[in-house]
Amino acid sequence: MFEKVLIANRGEIALRIHRACQEMGIRTVAVHSTADARAMHVRLADETVCIGPPQARDSYLNAASILSAATITGADAIHPGLGFLAENADFAAAVEETGFTFIGPSPEHIRLMGDKVRAKAEAQRLGIPVVPGSPEAVRGLPAAERAAKEIGYPVLLKASAGGGGRGMKLARDAAELAQMLPLAQIEAKAAFGDDSVYLERYLDRPRHIEVQLLGDGRGEVIHLGERDCSLQRSHQKLLEEAPSPALDAADRERLLATAVAALKELGYKSAGTMEFLYQDGEFYFIEMNTRLQVEHPISEMISGVDVVREQIRIAAGEPLGYRQSDIVLRGHAIECRINAESSEDFRPSPGRISDYHAPGGLGVRVDSALYQGYQVPPFYDSLVAKLIAYGADREECVMRLRRALAEYVVGGIETTIPLHQRLVEEPDFRRGDYDIHWLERFLARPS
């Protein structure tokens, strides 16, 4: 097992990884920007290295600085966390070439899944249902029109190099396609440096359901059930739950078995998530994330498996700590993402935490690097805490979440806690009756 792990990240996720390391007897190295000198992930780490100025591109995205920090401190392995360099195949390769272990998938799998057209083709080859669409990038308008006619309108234009929904364009007919194709290409080029786009049939009211997977890189793969991540605005998830209230046992089994079989075939290593759209009893692969995800705790709560611990064990060459038959999915978990933002208009709200009191009690988990007196810097993602509630069933979970939200005090900045409080009172939410568009409509209503 590793003796020392460098955590190439910040905030709650750096702290989450630190905790797993400590429980495994592994020493940690925190890297940080000058803006994060007083951050909790830095305060708790065994060793710390300042890797640059506040801007992420000069610090948390600076591969050379991070590799130097690993060399200086004598780390064995690097955990990239999420965001920043976590899905950068070149970084993963550089880590290995410099003689460290990358705690994550192989660079080849990161690269494969980062190319959305290749990923979709691979998914199809592996027997996973995909949304009907153009098998490859469409170049000019004639090719796009032919593809759209075949698929059937409305169609969605997506960036091949994209993901996360950036640069997507809807076309309801040929006229709109002619209008949207150049726009989609320009946006794809600006966002990803690659103007290729492909087409898919547009699903009008799907749910976003994803499967948490763990592979050992030698053909063993297990799942930790699915998560429903449909409650999002502008492709930012707000609240996630596991299991999905939308799936019956038969559809769930089909979804999970399909995802596991595919990753076994791939020989996938480490934690990964397959994302699907689910509508009218059918699920369709959209993309795969080759990293630890923000919402991994809800899968941990219903499965009892520490996903970060398993990532570290797998990277160290140990077998998975579980067979599928050891995993019993039990109860219900919900995560609220608490952002340093206005609950009304989502403007960032950095600043000093004047008061802090985290909720607790049975079935309540808070993953956060906040503390009283901490200064939330303006340079990074606004996620500052994750409140996770667990219950024997969804009803118990929701009631527990409600009381935990009422207990939570974060003073000095605005947060999305009031929005979550409104959300948990909503009849549609209480029934689990929502799709990916529900939240935008809820937010458009007068409060």
Kindly list the catalytic residues: 291
Q: Which tokens in the block code for residue 25?
A: 């007897």
Q: Which stretch binds ligand MV4 (CB under 6 A): 44-52, 158-166, 179-187, 413-421?
A: 158-166
Q: Of the two residues 18 and 296, which places its CB atom closer to ligand MV4 in the complex?
A: 296
Instruction: Scan for tokens 């709650």, then name that residue.
Output: 12
Q: Which of 41, 111, 120, 208 binds ligand MV4 (CB under 6 A)?
A: 208
Q: Which of 156, 224, 305, 336 binds ligand MV4 (CB under 6 A)?
A: 156
**Is residue 331 involved in binding ligand MV4 (CB under 6 A)?**
no
Q: Which of 187, 195, 200, 306 binds ligand MV4 (CB under 6 A)?
A: 200
Closest to 385 (Cα-Cα) out of 419, 342, 416: 416
Contact by Cβ (8 Å): 283, 255: yes
**Is residue 339 involved in binding ligand MV4 (CB under 6 A)?**
no
Q: Which tokens in the block code for residue 265?
A: 């075939």
Q: Of the two residues 144 and 156, which places its CB atom closer to ligand MV4 in the complex?
A: 156
144 Cβ contact partners less than 8 Å away, ≥ 6 residues apart: 134, 138, 157, 177, 181, 199
Burial of 304 from C-beta contacts in 10 A (0-12 / 13-18 / 19+):
middle
- Interface characters, 290-319, with ligand MV4 (x: CB under 6 A): ------------------------------
Residue 230 Cβ vs ligand MV4, minimum distance, rounded to whole Å: 7
**Is residue 214 involved in binding ligand MV4 (CB under 6 A)?**
no
**Is residue 6 involved in binding ligand MV4 (CB under 6 A)?**
no
**Is residue 114 involved in binding ligand MV4 (CB under 6 A)?**
no
Instruction: Scan for tokens 């309801």, then name that residue.
Output: 172
**Is residue 203 involved in binding ligand MV4 (CB under 6 A)?**
yes
Residue 278 Cβ vs ligand MV4, minimum distance, rounded to whole Å: 10
What does the DSSP assignment read for 335-404? EEEEESB-TTT--B--EE--EEE---STTEEEEE---TT-EE-TTS--EEEEEEEEESSHHHHHHHHHHH
Classify 126 as helix, strand or coil: coil
Q: Which of 286, 336, 404, 439 binds ligand MV4 (CB under 6 A)?
A: 286
Q: Which stretch binds ligand MV4 (CB under 6 A): 163-171, 211-219, 333-341, 382-390?
A: 163-171
Q: Which residues pair with 357 in a beta bridge?
A: 409
Alpha helices in 172-232 (DSSP H): 174-192
Q: Which of 2, 91, 102, 202 binds ligand MV4 (CB under 6 A)?
A: 202
Q: Which tokens in the block code for residue 238?
A: 């707000």
Rounded (5°) CA angle 96-99-101: 55
β-pair type (282-289, 221-233): unpaired
Site for ligand MV4 in 130-149 (CB under 6 A): 131
Residue 115 Cβ vs ligand MV4, minimum distance, rounded to whole Å: 14
Binding site residues, ligand MV4, CB under 6 A:
131, 156, 163-165, 168, 200-203, 206, 208, 232, 235, 277, 286-287, 436
